Amino acid sequence: MNFDEFLKILGEFGTYQQRRYALICMITFYSVLSTLGIVFYGAEPEHHCKIPAAQVEHVTRLYGNVTREELLELFVPYTKEGKRSGCELYRVDEKYLNSTLPTLPNSSFSSAPPDENRVLNGRMITFNDSVKSVFHIPWNQASGEKRETYNCPGQRVYSKNIYESTIVSEFDLACENAWQTDTCSSVFYVFKPLAMLVTGLLSDRFGRRPVFLIGIIILVASGISSAFAPNMSAFCVLYVI
């Protein structure tokens, strides 16, 4: 008796088998989501370095109230692609600000005395110039040479325009910390074939059904727990499980 004849005796792929197959697919679909989900919750939103509070306060004393875009224009450099850098800031110390930025009380030059007018990037800044016009000057050329940059001194500010929150924004995994996301994915795929080998041996010993159901329970528990992970290390452990 060959295999095809044996299947005819047992019966073809009927309603019972279809229902069982559909239930198994519904359960295992969560396994697929947990495997590929990192593509979405590991996405990197647009971001820039958080500008040190001391420098913001110093600029505020010089200019009065300034907008977010004006602060970014002053402190955040652009990449070769024309986008704002997410990993660097311009090195702007108090000496630089005092020597290149005119004093702007009340966000304008209107109340500044004539002797406060200065030459900036080859242009005379008068006390009738507004803050906006001054900020549009290419600051990276203000001193006649390329401005020095440095890596983010602290955390980054992440945009919420596309993603409300991801593990990248939650655990600050951009720039010098980006390796943690890739490492976590690599560890997952290293342990995945080992887990398949172990579960196969356990299935032969205890049966496929109990091993399958216990595995699903562990998967659901680790998936829910990963949403409350306090740091990337804990998240990675739960993700691999």
Residues 69-104 have pLDDT tens digits of 888 888 888 888 888 888 888 887 655 555 544 433
Number of domains in the chain: 2
Same structural domain for residues 221 and 187? yes
| Mean pLDDT to the nearest integer, 106-125 | 42
- Structural domain range at position 53: 47-158
Domain boundary among 124, 158, 192: 158
Compute the radius of gyration of the chain from its Cα atoms. Answer: 30
Name the average pLDDT for the chain: 75
Domain boundary among 158, 188, 222: 158
Residue 57: inside a domain, yes or no?
Answer: yes
Q: Hey, what's the torsion of the CAs at 173, 176, 178, 184, to 10 degrees?
A: -90
Same structural domain for residues 148 and 82? yes
Comparing C-alpha atoms, which of 63, 32, 40 is closest to residue 168?
40
User: Amino acid identity, residue 220?
Assistant: V
Report the distance separating Cα 211 and Cα 137, nearest Å.
67
Residue 116 has pLDDT above 70, yes or no: no
pLDDT tens-digit readout, 134-153: 444 444 444 445 678 888 88
207: left (phi over 0), alpha (psi -120 to 50) or beta: left
Residue 227 has pLDDT above 50, yes or no: yes
Domain boundary among 128, 158, 188: 158
Residue whose token pair is 């590929």: 36
Report the distance separating Cα 184 and Cα 188, nearest Å.
6
Q: What pLDDT, on a 0 to 100 scale, did the predictor assign at position 80? A: 83
Q: What pLDDT, on a 0 to 100 scale, did the predictor assign at position 149? A: 83
Same structural domain for residues 187 and 236? yes
- Two structure tokens written together for 107: 């966000």
Report the distance separating Cα 97 and Cα 135, nearest Å.
13
Does residue 238 or residue 67 have the better pLDDT?
238
CB 240 within 8 Å of CB 225:
no
CB 239 within 8 Å of CB 226:
yes
pTM: 0.64
Residue 193: inside a domain, yes or no?
Answer: yes
Distances 190 to 42, 186, 196 between C-alpha atoms, Å: 19, 6, 11
